[in-house]
């Protein structure tokens, strides 16, 4: 009997030991491991899931900021340098007409098909067709494709009709030059219907149509060639209002807010003081906030008025009070940190008294005592357009309006949605317009290129050189210049003339922001194009 009791006790002990072991088969089973998920937010729905987005096919650009997670480019942009992407190495012919790309081997698209020279050829031949009238304004290099040659399975040559100093820079743009699977194209070269609800790229993640209650779900690409990311699944919840985004982060409904347009500076500063959250600021200047003055509209066709406007704005006060000194005041239209833009120019100092004196000497006086100057029956007045639902936009334009009021100028502010703003400003239907430059990597190449009025791509930036009779000729010849010194000399001239003309009034240089739940996310590293969020760069706790 005693022997049976001892055996029973031993059996019970063995059972308990096995049951408590951390190395059970269930724990080792990958199927039982917890899926690592995070949720982010966006201001609008996604319409399309391919990388060729233009005003002609999309009413918003929400997907643009996420494209790098699904679609990769031949080369990437990083801290002012071109670095490998889907091409490991490349070479450029002496005449700069032939670019030879040596592609990565073993890369597959999310549909399991191979990435090779043939599919690169297909993409580069069809993307210009898909861009249509937006080739020049989105990726100028696509206007210069002469022939795309497949040398072997992993080598492709891109032949241009003429040299272009920004060719590699253009090729870093996920929109429109992210590579798509051959299955993304119909036989006639048009895009397959499946791209309305799926991605077909080589990136670390993919989308397969999972969308419920304004939440989009993205999963890992099982065929991804690179290092496996921490995050298995990420969700994007559509929350139009920025205050609601902040509340959603605090409630745990979302785990991260990415991008300066998605959180107010007040909100960002509050999260910065809270140990439960981590905040990050990009090191690079991303865009320039600026006011565009319409030279075709009185009174801004008067150079003295434009000079007064430049002296009336206290940029340091704006950066301190509205942007918590995260942004820095902009003395030049394009940040000196950009290629070719480090030009020595004398800033327009803030001096309201000087602005008043300039106006008075030019014949602008407040004769009737209503606080608004006039000249020859023309009121010193106008309307400034801006995009609604952009962080700090309303506060900024109201602040600018108060500066103008202080010198006797009456500027009303009108907020409209993004697409309407784009349409009205490009038709020249404004007196003043508050907007931003395109940002990295579009600045400075596409920004300067769009100053050619013949392209009809951006009426606002065209005003920067509208005083020059030969502006279009200068801009049109710039892309083909090969000599670096000549390129720099041309930029010196262009930026100097923009500064002298005073139609593009820089306010500040923007940064990108990120706020996240410190218990769930350990860190994030900004992508080389900081306005794009790289989910693979998120490290979890």
Tens-digit pLDDT profile for residues 327-359: 999 999 999 999 999 999 999 999 999 999 999
> Angle at which helices 303-312 and 352-361 pack, to 10 degrees?
170
* Mean pLDDT along residues 201-215: 95
- Reply yes or no on domain 71-190 having CATH 3.20.20.60: no
* Mean pLDDT along residues 215-242: 97
- pLDDT band of residue 30 (cuts 50, 70, 90) is low
Omega into 408 within 30° of 0, i.e. cis?
A: no
- What's the pLDDT score for residue 9? 40
Where does the chain hold its CATH 3.10.105.10 domain(s)? 288-509
Angle at 376 between CA 372 and CA 378, to 5 degrees: 45
φ and ψ at residue 367, rounded to 5 degrees: -75, -30
* 460/477 Cα distance (integer angstroms): 21
Where does the chain hold its CATH 3.40.190.10 domain(s)? 71-190, 196-284+512-540
pLDDT digits (tens, 9 = 90+) for 120-169: 999 999 999 999 988 888 899 999 999 999 999 999 999 999 999 999 99
Structure tokens of 514?
Answer: 């990120």
Structure tokens of 308?
Answer: 């007064």
pLDDT of 10 higher than 50: no
CATH class of the domain comprising 288-509: alpha beta
Residue from 471, 531, 536 nearest 63 by CA: 531
Angle at 180 between CA 56 and CA 210, to 5 degrees: 80
pLDDT digits (tens, 9 = 90+) for 247-300: 999 999 999 999 999 999 999 999 999 999 999 999 999 999 999 999 999 999
**Number of other residues whose CB lies within 10 A of the CB of residue 95:** 10
For the chain, what is the largest distance between any 2 Cα atoms, rounded to a whole number of angstroms? 120
Mean pLDDT of the residues in the chain: 92
φ and ψ at residue 435, rounded to 5 degrees: -155, -165
CATH hierarchy code of domain 196-284+512-540: 3.40.190.10
Residue with tokens 């000087």, as numbered in its chain: 354
- pLDDT band of residue 32 (cuts 50, 70, 90) is low
pLDDT of 58 higher than 80: no
- pLDDT band of residue 27 (cuts 50, 70, 90) is very low
């Amino acid at each position: 009997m005693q022997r049976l009791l001892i055996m029973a006790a031993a059996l019970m002990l063995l059972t308990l030991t096995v049951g408590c072991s951390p190395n059970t088969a269930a724990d080792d089973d990958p199927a039982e491991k917890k899926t690592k998920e995070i949720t982010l937010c966006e201001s609008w729905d996604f319409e399309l899931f391919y990388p060729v987005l233009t005003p002609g096919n999309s009413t918003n650009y929400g997907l643009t900021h996420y494209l790098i997670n699904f679609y990769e480019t031949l080369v990437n942009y990083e801290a002012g340098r071109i670095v490998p992407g889907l091409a490991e190495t490349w070479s450029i012919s002496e005449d700069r007409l032939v670019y030879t790309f040596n592609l990565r081997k073993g890369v597959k698209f999310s549909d399991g098909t191979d990435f090779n020279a043939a599919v690169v050829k297909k993409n580069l031949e069809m993307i210009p067709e898909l861009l249509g009238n937006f080739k020049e304004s989105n990726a100028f290099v696509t206007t210069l494709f002469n022939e795309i040659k497949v040398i072997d399975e992993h080598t492709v040559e891109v032949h241009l009709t003429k040299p272009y100093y920004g060719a590699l820079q253009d090729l870093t743009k996920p929109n429109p030059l992210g590579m798509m699977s051959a299955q993304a194209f119909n036989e006639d070269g048009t895009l397959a219907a499946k791209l309305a609800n799926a991605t077909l790229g080589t990136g670390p993640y993919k989308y397969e149509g999972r969308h419920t209650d304004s939440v989009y779900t993205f999963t890992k690409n099982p065929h991804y060639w690179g290092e496996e990311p921490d995050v298995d699944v990420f969700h994007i919840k559509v929350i139009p209002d920025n205050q609601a985004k902040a509340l959603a982060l605090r409630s745990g409904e979302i785990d991260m807010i990415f991008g300066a347009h998605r959180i107010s500076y007040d909100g960002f500063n509050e999260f910065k003081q809270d140990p439960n959250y981590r905040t990050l600021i990009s090191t690079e200047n991303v865009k320039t906030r600026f006011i565009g003055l319409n030279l075709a509209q009185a009174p801004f066709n008067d150079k003295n008025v434009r000079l007064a406007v430049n002296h009336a704005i206290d940029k340091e006060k704006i950066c301190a009070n509205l942007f918590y000194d995260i942004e820095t005041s902009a003395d030049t239209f394009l940040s000196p940190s950009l290629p070719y833009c480090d030009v020595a120019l004398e800033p327009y100092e803030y001096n309201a008294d000087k602005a008043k004196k300039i106006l008075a000497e030019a014949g602008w006086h407040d004769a009737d005592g209503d606080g608004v100057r006039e000249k020859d029956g023309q009121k010193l007045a106008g309307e400034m357009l801006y995009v609604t639902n952009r962080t700090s936009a309303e506060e900024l334009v109201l602040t600018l309006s108060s500066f103008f009021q202080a010198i006797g100028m009456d500027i009303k502010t009108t907020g409209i949605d993004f697409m309407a703003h784009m349409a009205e400003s490009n038709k020249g239907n404004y007196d003043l317009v508050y907007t931003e430059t395109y940002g990295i990597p579009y600045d400075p190449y596409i920004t300067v290129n769009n100053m050619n009025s013949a392209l009809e791509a951006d009426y606002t930036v065209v005003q920067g050189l509208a005083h020059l009779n030969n502006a279009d000729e200068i801009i049109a010849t710039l892309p083909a210049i090969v000599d670096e010194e000549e390129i720099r000399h041309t930029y010196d001239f262009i930026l100097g003339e923009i500064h002298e003309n005073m139609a593009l009034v820089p306010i500040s240089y923007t940064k990108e922001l990120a706020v996240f739940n410190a218990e769930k996310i350990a860190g994030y590293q900004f992508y080389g194009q900081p306005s794009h969020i790289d989910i693979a760069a998120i490290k979890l706790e």
